[in-house]
Every structure is written in structure tokens, then in C-alpha cells.
Copies of this chain bind each other. A is one copy, B any other.
Amino acid sequence: MNFASDNTAGAHPAIMAAIAKANDGRVMPYGNDEGTGHAKDLLSHVFEKEAHVFFVPTGTAANGLALSALVPGYGAVVCHETAHINEHEGSGPALFTGGAKLLGLPGDDGKIDPTDVARTIAHGRGDPHYAPVFAASITQLTERGTAYRPDHIAAIAEACREDGVRLHMDGARFANALVGLNCSAADMTWKAGVDVVSFGATKNGALALEAVVIFDADLARDFHYRQKRAGMVLSKMRLMTAQMAAYLADDLWLENARRANAMARRLADGLAVIDGIDVTQAVDGNEVFPLIPAATVARLTDAGVAFYDRGQAPDGRHRVRLVSAFCTTAQDVDRFLEIAGNG
């Protein structure tokens, strides 16, 4: 039983089948083939807008390249202090942007506040002692498992607009947020003012696939140079495009996310009624953040359940992260609850 991460799952069978099928025959490399164009079109369709799309194998690559199109090396990026780009990608964003500074803000529920964003943009603006903010970056789902609502996103975009600051969304769990919010991909992105999305698929049933989705042709113009230079253009691009076509076909991506989210919901609901356990965050997607007594943690670990234990809270309980995946079953959840509740 594995609640450590959604990336401990393999690919969805339909995606694996698509890769195998795409493997046949000779195809021009580096994306100069029909399949690539087709896969890109599918994303434009999803976003209800012509999008400029680039496929990369990891989220760190997607985020770093996306930011590099928005921010020069002498600039800065506003994000939540817990953002993946700030806390879990080493100094990757600096590599891709040529040294841009990340300005991590505190904020409830893993979200940044539009007022804080505006103040950070204004701070020292124009004075070269301060790296000027060129972009804000939000994570959807956040690192606390919560989802930004479109109006919240729009308010951040509004705080950015006056100074020409661009808005990036790290959508590593884009689909989970989307079905949680029950809105359209357009509502959650460009209609709310997002300029560039790291559209994650790996955590939601793909094998190794993220797409950088750019809504502004100017930002996209030189992106292929950045991508190639970073070693991020696969020669056998069909590996990527086959995944994406299958991911989007028949709403597989939404279906996968709905399943994962439902399992997280089931898990959270079950935990809520166990004595001594508290779920600390809204469950907007497929992540649950409970406080769990040490004895229960030990019991789960002994039973071979995998999850991340982020250490003790002041009250002695453990801060635990539980992540469901498209392939998590109700039996998995119920068994987890049984062990957890059986104190």
C-alpha cells in the first residue's frame, strides 16, 4: 500500500499501450512529425485557446524552462515559500533562468496573497539593489494539497498586471485541482490571467510527461531554443506525444484525477473520525495532511504502508502527507483506515 506519492505508480495501461503503438515505424525526430502537431492541438482544445506547447519529461524541467521564458537572470520570481520551485528543485530555477531570485512569501494553506504579491513587486522597484519581479508563480495543487480558486488567481494576476509581471502556474497536479474545483482548464488559467502553465501528467497516469503551455506567442517564440539547449528535446518525441494523446483521449486525465481525488476524500473522511487524528488542510485534490500520533505512525509503517512523515508537530503528533493516485483503490484506503483506527 503506497501513499508516499502519486509518482510511485506506473503509467495508466491506456498510456502504456499508446506508447507501444507509437513505437512502430520510422518517424522524423525532435518533434518534426505529425503526431507532435496532433498532440499539441489536443492541448489547445483542452484550453479552448491556441496554445504553444512543449513536451518535457520532468516537472523541474517544465518549471525551469517556463520561468526562463518569463524572467531574466537579473529578475525575481514571487512564489509561496513552500513552492516546489523554492524548496524542492535545488537551485534548478536559477540554472534555467540564469540566476533569477526566488522571493518566497508566507501565506495560509500554501497560497500566496494578492496583497503580499503587490507589496513584494513594489518593494524597491526600479532600484537596482533589488532584483525586479518579472513573474509570480503559483502551485496548483499547492504544497498543502489545496487549490487556488479562479477568483484568487485572477486577483494575483491583477496584482501583477500593472507592472507587467507575468503569472506562471506550476500545475504538477493540474488535473486534480481542476476536477476538485469543477471548472474548466480555461477558467483556471488564461481566463484568470495565467500566462504559462506547467501542465503535469506524470503524477496522474503518464510515465514521464509534462507540457509547458504558453498562451502568448511572444513568450513562446524562442522557447524551442531554450528547450533544446537544456537537453529537453527528445529525439524520439513520439514517446511524449503518444502519452499526451492517450492522456487526453476520452477524458482519461480527468477520470484519473477524479478517482485519485475520491480516494483522498474517502481517506480524509475516514481519518476525521479517528480519535487523535486531525486533518489539517482542506482536501481539494489527492493529498491529505493529517496529524497522526506516533504510535499510529509506527503501526502503519510496521504494516508496510509507505508515506512521508515530516516530523513531529509541537503537540508530539507526526505531520504526515498521504497522496492517492489514479490506481489507488477503495480497499487500499479502507485498509489504511483500519490500521490507523485500530489503536
Point out residues on A near B: beta carbons under 8 Å.
Answer: 2, 4-5, 7-11, 16, 19-20, 22-30, 56-65, 72-76, 87-92, 94-96, 98-102, 128-132, 202-203, 207-208, 222, 224-236, 238-239, 306
Contacts and interface: CB of A to CB of B under 8 A. Distances in A.
A100 to B, nearest CB: 6
Contacts of A102: 101
A132 B61 contact: no
A56 B60 CA distance: 14
Contact of A16 (B23, B90, B92, B226): B23
Q: List 7 tightest A-B contacts by C-beta distance, closest first.
A: A61-B231, A94-B99, A128-B228, A60-B231, A98-B98, A10-B23, A7-B235
B23 A7 contact: no
A198 to B, nearest CB: 11
6 contacts: A8-B29, A30-B128, A64-B231, A89-B129, A128-B228, A202-B235
A236 B88 contact: no
A57 B231 CA distance: 8
Copies in the complex: 4
A124 to B, nearest CB: 9
A19 B242 CA distance: 14
Contacts of A228: 60, 89-90, 92, 128-129
A222 to B, nearest CB: 7
A73 B19 CA distance: 34
A61 B207 contact: no
B128 A229 contact: yes
A224 B128 contact: yes
A128 B233 contact: yes
B27 A8 contact: yes
A102 B202 CA distance: 30
Contacts of A27: 8, 10
A73 B92 contact: no
Contacts of A22: 10
Given A10-B22, A26-B306, A73 B57 contact: no
Contact of A99 (B5, B59, B91, B130): B91
